[in-house]
Amino acid sequence: MGGFAQPYLEGLNPAQREAVEALNGPVLMLAGAGTGKTKALTARIAHLLATRSAQPNEILAVTFTNKAAREMKTRVGALTGHIEGMPWLGTFHAICVKLLRRHAELVGLKTNFTILDTDDQLRLLKQQVAAAEIDDKRWPARMLSGIIDGWKNKAWVPSQVPVAESSAFDGKGIELYAAYQQRLKDLNACDFGDLLLHMVTIFQTHDGVLKEYQERFKYILVDEYQDTNVAQYMWLRLLAQGHKNICCVGDDDQSIYGWRGAEVGNILRFEKDFPGATVVRLEQNYRSTGHILGAAAGVIAANKGRLGKTLFTDGDDGEQVRLIGHWDGETEARWIGEEIEAMQRGTRGIDPMALNDMAILVRASHQMRAFEDRFLTIGLPYRVIGGPRFYERMEIRDAMAYFRLAVSQDDDLAFERIVNTPKRGLGDKAVQTIQTTARTNGVNLVEGARLCVEGGLIKGKGGAALRELVQGLDRWFAQLRAEADTHVEVAEMILDESGYTTFWQNDKTPEAPGRLENLKELVKALENFENLQGFLEHVSLIMDNAQDEQDDKVTIMTLHAAKGLEFPAVFLPGWEDGLFPSQRSMDESGLKGLEEERRLAYVGITRAEQHCCISFAANRLVYGQWQSQMASRFIDELPEDHVEVLTASGLYGGGMSAAANPASVGMGSHLHDKAASADVYNSPGWRRLQSRSQQRPVAQPQESRNMVIDMTASSSHTVGDRVFHQKFGYGEVMEIEGDKLVIEFDKAGEKKVVAKFVVGSAQ
């Protein structure tokens, strides 16, 4: 080994080095947040390569998110310099897609199978439920989707589901599952859960294939092992039975996917599964300040049934965790926006920070909207990772359906989506004719449509339009394979020739320009991929869309998606009972759900390096209803020494509170003792707010929301004002037309934009 440069070993502590250098045999690294587990795992890959213990393609490394995989790739690249080829590095799903494409025929699929998203999956299940004549009010398809996902996470094919599990759906659960799987096969498609399930099935039934990969993968590495489900666990165990060089790292305190079938027991069982395993424990935290660690430790200590770990840091205590209460979700978003701007400018008594170094981690994705709206209004750049997002928008899904059909004409779901989008005069009846023709002839819908065209089964304008569509689909299918044009060019062609772009160009709704922008973004995103199939695969797999990562933006994401990541400053809003911990976990009997929520709180706090701010609101609009909220029980568990309670007084000055005051509710009595005694509620600002809410006539929630919007939209722009717009930057108001402004932008030229997305600029 001595002959190789080993820079990746420098800066590791002795325990980490042990985990890196114990190359042969099973290794378990069990340690708390921020102790360098992922760092050690990455160094281990570098070590395997540098010592030539394995070829890159003999290493299999599983990460939990695509973002983590990307980061690890970069880190391995940096550590090892130039090495030919890259290890198999990705999420369980990404790796399984790759394998499944090679062996698709073993489970009755073709290599170019499609991966359905949850929307398609649901549509398909609805059809199954309807076909079985089951009352979908009593047994909604969404529930079936949850049940089937659960079974797949346990690696059960229909014949393996215990009968006792199948009382739902009038006792037809297993039958529906089997029918659904058959339908997927007919469509040459699989859902997310199938990626693993099919691979486990293949490994279990084709010894030759399993042996091949057991031989191939000399070294297996798994990050975030505490969150593997049974199917993933079985897949790993099967593969590792070859060389038994498996290194798993995890933290039982960060197990947060129990609701999705993850079994923290897997990590506890490791030593039994792999006798003689080297177990490494790490205790030094390199990420967070003392106060942040102290706060996190205080919260997690309330969980029972932990392995129990100590964490220490050599670093400073730093700033205490900040805690602040707000009137409602809007004021919370407003305050955080101001706080972020102050941190960016360096006017909060700390050095200026980049927006990239700040993150807002929410419990539920519906919390994101308030931040998005607010940041759009003040022109604060942000990115949203996870949750409903770019690729789930209507125009993107439509465009992708076209792309999917260009890749595979078997994709009936995609065809159903676009057959009359844009409108071609093909109503339900025409679609039914196509479906019937396809069914009778045992062909896919594109073929069915072709038969309809040739047989003259659909008359008039619709018939002509259908002919054009089928010809288009054939042309795009051929063009994609001819390779005369790049896949990006073909994609643009598809959007133009299908009439889809024109459709939005002619649309007069205010959203249309944004949708066209999105379509442009989509085509731009294609450039990063070798071909269309690779791109579609990527989209179905992503949990995070990290576009333009070089730009300086605040990150907004869910706590679940933030696992394994770190940020110098973290905001944790919405710490209220019913939101965090979630209502469901509180309603459950037993502590299981609540303990998982608490681990999520621990994950949240431990993402922060230097600054952590927890907040809650006394009122929150949840699904259109105002609710008065109680501060989270987790707030009571924060050790006082590590927390600074901020007074909210500054918040309610000026005219802001009048508009933000949604309803009169007696908050103080709802709040937990600890939080109620906190200064927030004794502050002059809070009392002022309360007395005001008693004096004023109670504003109806909807009304007050309009007031908030009015205020931020500010119709007070006048011609000649300098303004700022999130997308187009700085410009000057030329004309005012109702709620729209015509603006001459410095860079983007003249545009008509909605006034509420424009803010006055001092510049």
SS3 of 35, please? coil
Size of the site for Mg ion (CB under 5 A): 3
11 sits near ligand ATP (criterion: CB under 6 A) = yes
Closest CB 583 distance from Mg ion, rounded Å: 30
- Separation between Cα atoms, residue 547 and residue 560, nearest integer Å: 19
Rounded to the nearest angstrom, the gap between the alpha carbon of residue 601 and the centroid of all alpha carbons in its chain is 18
- Separation between Cα atoms, residue 375 and residue 341, nearest integer Å: 10
Residues 591-620, one symbol each (x = binds ligand ATP by CB under 6 A, - = not), give ---------------x--------------
- Answer with the entry of Mg ion, ligand ATP, none that 36 interacts with (C-beta below 5 to 8 A by kind): ligand ATP
Choices 5-13, 700-708, 740-748, 755-763; region in contact with ligand ATP by CB under 6 A = 5-13
DSSP one-letter string for 94-134: HHHHHHHHHHGGGGT--TT-EE--HHHHHHHHHHHHHHTT-
Closest CB 333 distance from ligand ATP, rounded Å: 26
- Separation between Cα atoms, residue 223 and residue 42, nearest integer Å: 10
Q: Which of 38, 66, 114, 188 binds Mg ion (CB under 5 A)?
A: 38
Q: What is the DSSP letter of 367?
A: G
Closest CB 291 distance from Mg ion, rounded Å: 21
Q: What is the DSSP letter of 250?
A: E
Binding-site residues, in ranges, read: 31-38
| Nearest position to ligand ATP, beta carbon | 36
Closest CB 426 distance from ligand ATP, rounded Å: 51
Rounded to the nearest angstrom, the gap between the alpha carbon of residue 674 and the centroid of all alpha carbons in its chain is 34
Nearer to ligand ATP, 39 or 515 (CB): 39
**CB-CB neighbours of 715 under 10 Å:** 13
Residue appearing with tokens 């593969």: 239
Closest CB 12 distance from Mg ion, rounded Å: 15
Nearest to 600 by CA among 574, 571, 580, 573: 580
Residue appearing with tokens 């501060």: 631
Q: Which residues in the 12-51 window bind ligand ATP by CB under 6 A?
A: 12-13, 16, 33-39
Choices 1-9, 32-40, 501-509, 583-591; region in contact with Mg ion by CB under 5 A = 32-40
628 sits near ligand ATP (criterion: CB under 6 A) = no
Closest CB 40 distance from ligand ATP, rounded Å: 7
Nearer to ligand ATP, 64 or 203 (CB): 64
The angle subtended at Cα 63 by Cα 386 and Cα 558, nearest 5°, is 20
- Answer with the entry of ligand ATP, Mg ion, none that 286 interacts with (C-beta below 5 to 8 A by kind): ligand ATP
Nearer to Mg ion, 158 or 250 (CB): 250
Rounded to the nearest angstrom, the gap between the alpha carbon of residue 308 and the centroid of all alpha carbons in its chain is 30
Rounded to the nearest angstrom, the gap between the alpha carbon of residue 17 and the centroid of all alpha carbons in its chain is 33
DSSP one-letter string for 369-428: HHHHHHHHHHT--EEEESSS-GGGSHHHHHHHHHHHHHH-TT-HHHHHHHTTSS--S--H
Q: Which residues in the 269-298 window bind ligand ATP by CB under 6 A?
A: 286-287
Task: Tell me the backbone φ, ψ of residue 451, rounded to 5 degrees.
Answer: -60, -40
- In angstroms, the Cα distances linking 438 to 350, 429, 453, 582, 704 are 67, 14, 12, 46, 54
- Answer with the entry of Mg ion, ligand ATP, none that 39 interacts with (C-beta below 5 to 8 A by kind): ligand ATP
Choices 10-18, 329-337, 403-411, 526-534; region in contact with ligand ATP by CB under 6 A = 10-18
Provide the angle, in degrees to the nearest 10, between the axes of the packed helices 192-205 and 141-153.
Answer: 40
- Answer with the entry of Mg ion, ligand ATP, none that 16 interacts with (C-beta below 5 to 8 A by kind): ligand ATP
Question: Radius of gyration over alpha carbons of the chain, in Å?
Answer: 28
- In angstroms, the Cα distances linking 169 to 176, 181, 259, 390 are 9, 17, 21, 34
Nearer to ligand ATP, 64 or 151 (CB): 64
Q: Which residues in the 449-508 window bind Mg ion by CB under 5 A?
A: none
Closest CB 6 distance from Mg ion, rounded Å: 22
Binding-site residues for ATP, in ranges, read: 31-38
Choices 212-220, 432-440, 442-450, 556-564; region in contact with Mg ion by CB under 5 A = 556-564
- Answer with the entry of ligand ATP, Mg ion, none that 331 interacts with (C-beta below 5 to 8 A by kind): none
Q: Which of 329, 386, 564, 731 binds Mg ion (CB under 5 A)?
A: 564
The residues that are catalytic are: 37-38, 223-224, 254, 607
Give the footprint of ligand ATP on this chain (CB under 6 A).
Answer: 11-13, 16, 33-39, 251, 254, 286-287, 564, 566, 606
Give the footprint of Mg ion on this chain (CB under 5 A).
Answer: 37-38, 564
